[in-house]
Amino acid sequence: MSPTSMGPAEIGLIGLGTMGANLALNIAEKGFRIAVYNRTAAKTVAFHENAGPLADNIVPCETLEALVDALAPPRAVILMVPAGSAVDQQIAALRPLLGDDDMIVDAGNANFHDTNRRAADAETAGVPYLGIGVSGGEEGARHGPSIMGGGRPEAWGRVAHILEAIAAKYRGTPCATLMGKAGAGHFVKTVHNGIEYADMQMIAEVYGILRDGMGLAPDRIGEIFARWNEGPLQSYLIEIAGTVSQATDGKTGKPVLDIILDRAGQKGTGRWTAIEAQHLAAPATVIEAAVAARNLSSRLEERVRGEGVFGASPQALEPGEMDVDRLEGALIAGKIVCYAQGFGLLTAASDAFGWALPLPDIARVWREGCIIRSTMLNDMAEALAEDSGTNLMFAPFFATLLRDNQQALRTVVASAATNGLPTPALAAALAYFDIMRTGRSTANMIQAQRDFFGAHTFERVDEPGAHNGPWGSGS
Ligand SMILES: NC(=O)c1ccc[n+]([C@@H]2O[C@H](COP(=O)([O-])OP(=O)(O)OC[C@H]3O[C@@H](n4cnc5c(N)ncnc54)[C@H](OP(=O)(O)O)[C@@H]3O)[C@@H](O)[C@H]2O)c1
């Protein structure tokens, strides 16, 4: 192969795995000439050979030097390799081959702290750097992902036309936005993934009630999800919940769901969201519950042992105790609380890191292309555009939806608890809702105890200042 004989490429890409290969095809399809390199050269050759008519727009490169030579300066090279040390290794190998105007764009799922560090290194070296979050999985990468950028506006401006061309479109508007400097884009992507965990967990909890509490078969459950996908819950995740519920295993003829082991993995972004929520004191309890639930799901042997020790919980609900409309209402309420927490976390991060995150734009880029895309995100974008400083639960549209559905959430969580059906994420949503509607909480008891054992002082309801109680030498 001879890259130079094909003319200069407008953009480069390193890492032809699932995401990189599909993103490269998407870029080529939109008419941009792209140079590609993969650590294992055979994959580069095979990728080019299998690219069909798009191969004309793809310059396969067997070495990093060839990749650099194939690009028109000032160069831009996308990295699509696993987050962590692979990104650092790739930057270390590539950067010496690049000029000062040439830019590296990390499009993997980096931890935003790493992106902050790499962006700071790039600033010190006087070279441009972008960290972009790309959501939508394989299909999104190929036909239109949601893209969340982080870096300097001038760096974003250099590749924005390509990113906007390949991004998903919501009614013609590209789902690609610069969120702020340095790690802002990867932080937004991380919170997106955290919300994804929570959305999926709440759907799984409702599936559990339909399956174990109401005894419904997978295909019937699939019909229910399909119906919900016509209403306020319309979303990609509800849609695929319906699709997977109705799928049949080719080997056994059984419903696919029944032959899948009940053990869910994770790659870390949900955990990072929960950790940052704790660091920033911006509780994202629904996401935290979802992350914990995945971890508990993987303790299969321990769960089986627990069933032996304590016996399985009763599970089956009384006939008429639950109906599917109530479950739909619970999911609606849980989803609103989850997103209120997610946007609350984004607000806290924006303040803490000086990012000025554009909250309505975040809701907008999530409307298409990404895994959490849903109709409700359009309403969220509108609510945040009206008042981005408010808790989303208090926005008039969502306050009404919560008033209408909070009783359903309450009943579902209560029935599930009574019958031993675990609903940790829905229960966390309900607890948050109740805490955030309680004007007089019980933290006065905590303050009294803290002052009793540690003289930490407390505030009084009737006068300003720090006070001690009548229980120690300070009283
Ligand atoms: N999969 C998804 O749905 C998804 C969605 C959004 C974001 N992401 C993120 O996108 C990134 C890529 O994910 P993926 O699913 O495409 O991964 P993947 O299929 O495992 O591909 C990884 C690619 O990176 C290369 N690579 C691995 N280690 C490397 C190293 N140390 N130096 C250079 N190249 C290396 C591999 O090259 P070889 O062929 O030589 O092994 C391969 O081409 C990750 O950060 C991931 O978290 C994934």
Q: Is 374 in the pocket of ligand 1 (CB under 6 A)?
A: no
Concatenating the DSSP letter of every residue in 11-30 gives EEEE--SHHHHHHHHHHHHT
Distance 26 CA to ligand 1 centre (A): 17
Ligand 1, residue 81: give the atom nearest the CA.
24
Q: By C-alpha distance, which of 177, 160, 166, 175 is closest to 27?
A: 166
pLDDT of residue 316: 85
Q: Is 131 in the pocket of ligand 1 (CB under 6 A)?
A: no
Backbone dihedral angles phi then psi of residue 77, each to the nearest 5 degrees: -125, 120
Q: By C-alpha distance, which of 96, 117, 275 is closest to 106?
A: 117
Residues in the chain, pLDDT under 50: 1-4, 474-475
Threshold 0.85, pTM exceeds:
yes
| CA separation, residue 258 to residues 238, 245, 312, 340 (Å) | 18, 9, 19, 34
Distance 91 CA to ligand 1 centre (A): 15
The protein residue with its alpha carbon nearest to ligand 1, atom 42, reads 17
pLDDT of residue 320: 86
CA pair distance 357, 181, nearest whole angstrom: 9
CA pair distance 366, 373, nearest whole angstrom: 5
pLDDT of residue 4: 45
Residue 180 φ/ψ region, left for φ over 0, alpha for ψ in the -120 to 50 degree band, beta for the rest: left
* Residues 173, 118 contacting (CB under 8 angstroms): no
The protein residue with its alpha carbon nearest to ligand 1, atom 37, reads 39
